[in-house]
Every structure is written in structure tokens, then in C-alpha cells.
Amino acid sequence: MYNVRVAMRQRYPGEARNAIAAVFASTADVKHVFVVDEDIDVYDDAQIDLALATRFQAESRPRRPIRAFGPSVPSLDASASARKAASI
């Protein structure tokens, strides 16, 4: 599992979200995708940290996040979760 960083100039609203979906769809080994403006060097950890700390807009975050399904994600079957909770 690894993280992917993407620097892009968003041409229309929602394009960054589409880029995230494309990265998750391209490989199963991706755990997190970070999309930043094109002026951020994705190879520089300090610039990524600063961008996430100062430019991240929590109020505009989608309510339903894009999720990658992999070995680190527990079962998404609601009935299985309910059975587990009921058996405890």
C-alpha cells in the first residue's frame, strides 16, 4: 500500500475528485491520494505538509469520501457487521 500525490490545475469543479477516482481505479495498492495545486512540488514533503495545513478546505470536503477497497478495509457488508455486533 502506498500514497499517491497529484499536482494539477483544476479546469472545472470536480476535476480533482475525478483524478482521485482515476488513481484508485488504476491500481489496488493505493491507500491515499492527495491532489494539490500545480504550484506544489509533490516530491517535497514540506510543501505537501504546508499545503495540507494551509489550503485544505474541510467545509468543501465531499460528504461521502471515495474509498479504496483493500485488505486494510473491514467488511462492508452491513449485515455481517450487525451480526458481529450482536454476537458480542
Residue 67: all three cell numbers together = 474509498
> What pLDDT sits at residue 52?
87
Q: Which among 55-59, 69-73, 77-81 has the top mean pLDDT? A: 55-59
Residue 17: all three cell numbers together = 475528485
Residue numbers of the domain that contains 80:
2-87
> What pLDDT sits at residue 2?
86
pLDDT exceeds cutoff 70 at 80: no
Q: Up-side HSE of residue 13: CA atoms within 13 Å toward CB?
A: 3
pTM of the model: 0.63
Reported as a single tens digit per residue, the pLDDT across 12-35 is 988 988 999 999 998 888 888 899
Residue 7: all three cell numbers together = 499536482
Query: Looking at the 3D structure of the chain, how many domains does it have?
Result: 1
Q: Tell me phi and psi for residue 4, to 5 degrees.
A: -120, 135
